[in-house]
């Protein structure tokens, strides 16, 4: 077995016992990146510094000064996390070659834990998309099938983990951008509760919805990464000031007595029958392991898509006003100031970002604000209350992550609404601010991964991971790796 195919937790154990070195592990991952350029998973690879960090980690271990379970583990970062030693482009031409003067909080925490930062992963421009096709760096490819998308917007981070180019990675999830690519690539992806992980030093898309989270190949991988990145940060005013319990302590507690709710709105006719079947089999496995299952209703689900897109576009139009050709990145050759702003933005942003800025500006303008933006805010409250009432009688909610398996590249790029609809099962989690975890539970007849979504109560990530672990123990789907062809 190639050591790049180990899970993060397994590699961590082997580093601790001295069976493998970080140098060997990092070099195995870098070889995978080099061997599979067609996947286009990275916008920037820091091979030399990664090898240097790996050797430093091995020296620490030899001196009995290991920094913990992540010491020496190769990690990828979505290109939305600012890094002081690598460019940060957010997948956009407008930030081409831009380099931040500092590391964001989670990057700092990873480095302090000894993680080896291998590079910056491909993504949809400013995290807007569901397929990683809207990237100035070109589309990213699903390691399970060369014609399929890896999902988005954190497509590169998910595909890189699935392909063994890193053992874990970080993404962001505003409407599904961690869970959906995790599902399409057959790995785990957690969108933590809003406020659980710091967003300081993360390029903003829609600030009331954005959250940082990890990708990994097992429930334990996610727990190990959360232990390092989670917890209060004074640099993020939305960061929650509360305990950050170690999910490893409860990981093996099983699901006996766990009350699971299946929201019937999430099992509609729009779900691909194969997806439905695989998810229901996983539900059965949980029942056999001692969980109880009941049907519940989240009645405002039908309004989630329109609510989400109004809010995220409004917030994006405001957040992206800062890219004016003066302070950051790309500037058009133009001497007249207003023209310079307009041309820099028009030439620097891609078509999806421009569409969202236009629509977002529209829903915020005088006369329409009340009809669109403010009404969407009120509907958001109703959606959140749906979850509050559902959780009165159950512990977690369960559904598919996506109505389909990974779709073909190009199949939705000319139809924005079809692309937006791909997020129908994930974005309510963001509107409510709750945690959501994507768990690999099976494959379609074509061999494409299928993910199951667990949705928890606010700050109840540990229970999601505990449930995922129970599924993992029975299904063993996490052991499967894609056949990688260059
Ligand atoms: N696909 C959704 C969108 O395009 C979600 C993106 C995200 O979570 N960053 O907005």
Nearest to 131 by CA among 375, 351, 352, 409: 409
Rg (CA), the chain: 21
Is residue 428 lining ligand 1, measured as CB closer than 6 Å?
no
The pLDDT of residue 371 is above 80: yes
Nearest to 394 by CA among 308, 463, 478, 323: 463
Distance between Cα 369 and ligand 1 center (Å): 22
Is residue 133 lining ligand 1, measured as CB closer than 6 Å?
no
Nearest to 214 by CA among 198, 204, 225, 201: 225
Q: Which residues are catalytic?
A: 78, 153, 177
Q: What pLDDT sits at residue 27?
A: 98
Distance between Cα 172 and ligand 1 center (Å): 9
For the domain with range 3-253+435-479, which CATH number is right: 3.90.1300.10, 3.40.50.720, 3.40.50.11540, 3.40.50.360? 3.90.1300.10
Ligand 1, atom nearest to 422 Cα: 1
Task: Write the pLDDT tens digit of every residue in 26-47.
Answer: 999 999 999 999 999 999 999 9
> Residue ranges of the domains in the chain?
3-253+435-479, 302-361
Nearest to 222 by CA among 188, 180, 178: 188
Q: What pLDDT sits at residue 418?
A: 87
The edge-to-edge listing of strands for the beta sheet with 449-455 is: 42-45, 116-121, 74-78, 168-172, 212-216, 188-191, 436-443, 449-455, 396-400, 259-263, 292-296
**Are the CB atoms for 143 and 185 separated by under 8 Å?**
yes
> How far apart (Å, rounded) are the C-alpha atoms in residues 179 and 151?
9
| C-alpha triplet 153, 136, 365: angle, nearest 5° | 70
Q: What is the DSSP string of 107-137?
A: HHHHHHTT-EEEEEE--SGGG--SSS-S-TT
**Are the CB atoms for 260 and 291 separated by under 8 Å?**
yes
The pLDDT of residue 479 is above 90: no
Pairing of strands 188-191, 212-216: antiparallel
Q: What pLDDT sits at residue 211?
A: 98
Other C-beta atoms lying within 10 Å of the C-beta of residue 337:
11
Distance between Cα 26 and ligand 1 center (Å): 31
| Per-residue confidence band for 161, with pLDDT thresholds at 50, 70 and 90 | very high
Residue to probe by mutation, ligand 1, list 171, 173, 175, 353, most atoms within 8 Å of CB: 175
Is residue 176 lining ligand 1, measured as CB closer than 6 Å?
yes
pTM beyond cutoff 0.85: yes
Is residue 177 lining ligand 1, measured as CB closer than 6 Å?
yes
Other C-beta atoms lying within 10 Å of the C-beta of residue 244:
17
The pLDDT of residue 328 is above 90: no
Q: What pLDDT sits at residue 91?
A: 98
Is residue 423 lining ligand 1, measured as CB closer than 6 Å?
yes
The pLDDT of residue 269 is above 90: no
Burial of 240 (0-12, 13-18, 19+ CB in 10 A): buried
Is residue 153 lining ligand 1, measured as CB closer than 6 Å?
yes
| Per-residue confidence band for 344, with pLDDT thresholds at 50, 70 and 90 | very high
Task: Write the pLDDT tens digit of every residue in 45-86.
Answer: 999 999 999 999 999 999 999 999 999 999 999 999 999 999
Is residue 71 lining ligand 1, measured as CB closer than 6 Å?
no
Residue to probe by mutation, ligand 1, list 134, 152, 320, 429, most atoms within 8 Å of CB: 152
Average pLDDT over residues 342-356: 97
Distance between Cα 22 and ligand 1 center (Å): 34
| Per-residue confidence band for 327, with pLDDT thresholds at 50, 70 and 90 | confident
């Amino acid at each position: 077995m190639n050591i790049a195919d180990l899970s993060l937790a397994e590699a961590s154990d082997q580093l601790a016992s001295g069976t493998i070195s970080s140098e060997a592990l990092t070099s195995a991952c870098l070889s995978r990146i080099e061997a599979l350029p067609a996947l286009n998973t990275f916008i920037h690879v820091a091979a030399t510094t990664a090898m240097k960090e790996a050797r430093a980690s091995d020296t620490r271990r030899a001196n009995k000064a290991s920094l913990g379970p992540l010491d020496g583990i190769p990690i990828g970062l979505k290109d939305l996390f600012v890094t002081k030693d690598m460019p940060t482009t957010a997948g956009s031409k407008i930030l081409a070659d831009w380099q931040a003067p500092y590391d964001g909080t989670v990057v700092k925490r990873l480095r302090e834990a000894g993680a080896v930062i291998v590079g910056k992963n491909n993504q949809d421009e400013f995290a807007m998309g569901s397929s990683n096709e809207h990237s100035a760096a070109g589309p990213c490819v699903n390691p399970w099938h060369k014609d399929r998308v890896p999902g988005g917007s954190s497509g590169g981070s998910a595909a890189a983990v699935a392909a063994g180019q890193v053992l874990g990675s970080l993404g962001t999830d505003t409407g599904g951008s961690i869970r959906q690519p995790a599902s399409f690539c057959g790995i785990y992806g957690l969108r933590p509760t809003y406020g659980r992980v710091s967003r300081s030093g993360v390029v903003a898309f829609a600030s009331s919805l954005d959250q940082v989270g990890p990708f990994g190949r097992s429930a334990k991988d996610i727990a190990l990464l959360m232990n390092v990145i989670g917890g209060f940060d004074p640099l993020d005013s939305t960061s929650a000031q509360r305990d950050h319990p170690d999910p490893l302590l409860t990981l093996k507690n099983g699901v006996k007595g766990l009350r699971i709710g299946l929201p019937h709105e999430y099992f509609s006719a729009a779900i691909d029958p194969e997806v439905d079947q695989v998810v229901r089999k996983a539900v059965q496995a949980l029942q056999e392991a001692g969980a109880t299952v009941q049907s519940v209703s989240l009645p405002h689900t039908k309004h989630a898509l329109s609510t989400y897109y109004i809010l995220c576009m409004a917030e994006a139009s405001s957040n992206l006003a800062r890219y004016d050709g003066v302070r950051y990145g790309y500037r058009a050759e133009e001497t007249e100031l207003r023209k310079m702003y307009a041309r820099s933005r028009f030439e620097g942003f891609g078509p999806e970002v421009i569409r969202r800025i236009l629509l977002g500006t529209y829903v915020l303008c005088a006369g329409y604000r009340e009809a669109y933006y403010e009404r969407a805010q009120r509907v958001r409250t109703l959606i959140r209350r749906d979850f509050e009432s559902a959780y009165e009688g159950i512990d977690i909610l369960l559904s598919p992550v996506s109505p389909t398996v990974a779709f073909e590249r190009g199949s939705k790029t000319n139809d924005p609404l079809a692309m937006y609809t791909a997020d129908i099962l994930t974005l309510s989690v963001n509107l409510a601010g709750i945690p959501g975890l994507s768990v690999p539970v099976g494959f379609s007849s074509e061999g494409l991964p299928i993910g199951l979504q667990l949705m928890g109560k606010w700050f109840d990530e540990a229970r999601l991971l505990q449930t995922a672990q129970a599924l993992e123990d029975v299904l063993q789907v996490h052991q499967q790796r894609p056949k990688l062809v260059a």
